[in-house]
A and B are shown apart, each in its own frame.
Chain A
Amino acid sequence: MPSEYEALVAALKLTDIPFAEYAWRSRPEGTYGVVSLDFESGQLEGDGVKCDRAWSASVDVFFSRLSERDDLISTVEEILTEICGDSWELNSTQYENSTGLFHIEWVCTVQDGGDA
């Protein structure tokens, strides 16, 4: 498992947002997050350059109160910048009608073992 990914997981778990890796056994009430190593590959574009080894992860945060939004975004994005440099992006924002939850998803693609 890439060391930068492990650092990302550790840093997210230190925040006030309850984070699980891959999935929650039972979803918590209120705000929560999920971090996943989506794939490692031999031919990804990481850090804006072609590379032979890279990994891609995603960070998902679910919340119900819009007033939380800005704090959640800055918490996650500060960590992503610290660990992944500029190799991350906001991939999607959604609202789930059926649950009333907002869902923000960030993805990062980082060259394995390289400087982020």
Chain B
Amino acid sequence: MKNKRLQTAVFLGALALAAFPGFSPAPKADFDFETFARLPILEGGRVKPLDSFARTALMSIRGKQSVPVDGKAIPAARWLLDSAFKPEAADTYPSFVVDDPEVLGLLGIPQDKTRYFAYWQIEPKRDEVQTQAAAADQVPSGKRSRFQSALLNLNHRLTLYERVKNTFMLSGQGDPAMDLAAFSAALPGALAAFHSKNPTAKDRVAMKILSDMLQRYQFLAQAAAFKALPPSKDQSEDAWLSTGDALSDPTAGSEPHPGLSSFALMGRAYRAGDAAAFNAALAEHAAWVAEHRPAAARAARVETLFNKATPFISGMALYLTALLLVFAAWATRREDVAAAARSLAWAAFVVHTLGLLARTVLQGRPPVTNLYSSAVFVGWAAALLGLVAERLHRRGFAVSGACAIGFTTLVVAHHLSATGDTMEMMRAVLDSNFWLATHVVAITIGYSATYLAGMLGVAWVVRRHLMVKPDPEASKALSALAYGTIAFSLFFSFVGTVLGGIWADQSWGRFWGWDPKENGALLIVLWNALILHARWGGYVRERGIMLMAIFGNIIVSLSWFGVNMLGIGLHSYGFMDKAFLWLSAFCALQVAIMGLGALPPRFWVDHRKEA
């Protein structure tokens, strides 16, 4: 009874803690940063809030979603605002993370304590970076040296930052409102001059001024990182414009886009530090968007809330705390600590579920669409399986597996999010909700179950060496759980793999092409089938099954991430250099654990006694 009340309290307390970031009021500011962050824009083929773009951009440039300025962390949307309207200030922010010593050498920056550098520190060598990157780009992606990859990566991030700076106005242009006014004033005269049959000297000057301006705007149109001007309600849904698009095509509509003047006024006010004028121009634009594109405005608002709530970060923290509590429960043998750990794990799972659901709804797609979302989903399904399994055998093993996998996969997902928009649009060949919902989901559930079985194996090995008193009943329960999980995994891996073949047959006419990703999936099926047959034939017993289950961790990881590192095949979605080291470390760790499991029981304990 006492435990029940404790469990409820822990559960609700954890949920309240997790909800806090989403509902916390914004810090007081004169400028209405919140509304600015919520403005919808078009980028990467989809409508999203400025906030999402800013977070993704800063994540890929800096590896974090905020940047410290004068001892205070400023959020991504503020960083974007500064970069766009006050580039001279943003150039001094430590926005670029540079790790590679050779790249630092090229930049002429001595290796110091910090890994973060400002644009102005890199700017003197900007051309050199560009030249070197162009050379590195000629080398096929699999054959690039560490320096070449790091340099290309830096060049890509520098370009992204420069595009952000040239989205609303030309970087270093001064007052954008004055420029817009000059343009509007020059336009009628120059247009008349273009149509006049006998242009006078004055006409020629007017035309020259206009053509210079148009040239600059065309550059702006090409440089823009996103399109911030929504189509009006009688235009097509896709007809979004960037500032440069709208300015460089003055004959397209008789009236200039009202957003042009709103953003120009925002820019002038922001540069001048005039919060009231900034907020007024912002409110005007927000009202126009709400009137003409209510759906886009609503979607952007919801997504901003989702960004702010950071459910996966909260989930990560909760899983880790729950895992530590399970260890504490094992160490103290206290049932109330174990109960609290279980509640905390459930709370983590609920937060994880809400985040997953929100993403699914926002994107209007099944939960797994890219590598990032596969990590989120694998963790979620493994956590669910582990929590359900824990109800069958309340020994803390399944829940520890659930928390360990939930935590690890969310960490992996967090790092994957640095590669770009996590809700990117689907390429044509993958664009099928039916197959995404069946094949991809089944395969990823197979991954989850294999990992869970592997974690049970790890728990079994750890117990074997740490428990003072052997507990054959617990070991038996553990191996029964692992067996059930492997059977579950075999079902989903097999069905998922064959469904993948059927999808391939539907989309490019081959049921099975022995493509690396397909082979990876097949390996999981074969391995699980092998474990079950070996058990059935009595060739392996408890220990053998457990060690084989741990080896399953390696197979799934190679199938999931390893094949992407081969850089070939129809399925590969991005080459990851750093991930390779982590993957190798993970596999080595599994082999080490298997070795430990193969040692005679109580190996450590006996030796310590002897010594």
Q: Is A bound to B?
A: no
Q: A residues engaging B (CB < 8 A)?
A: none
Q: B residues engaging A (CB < 8 A)?
A: none
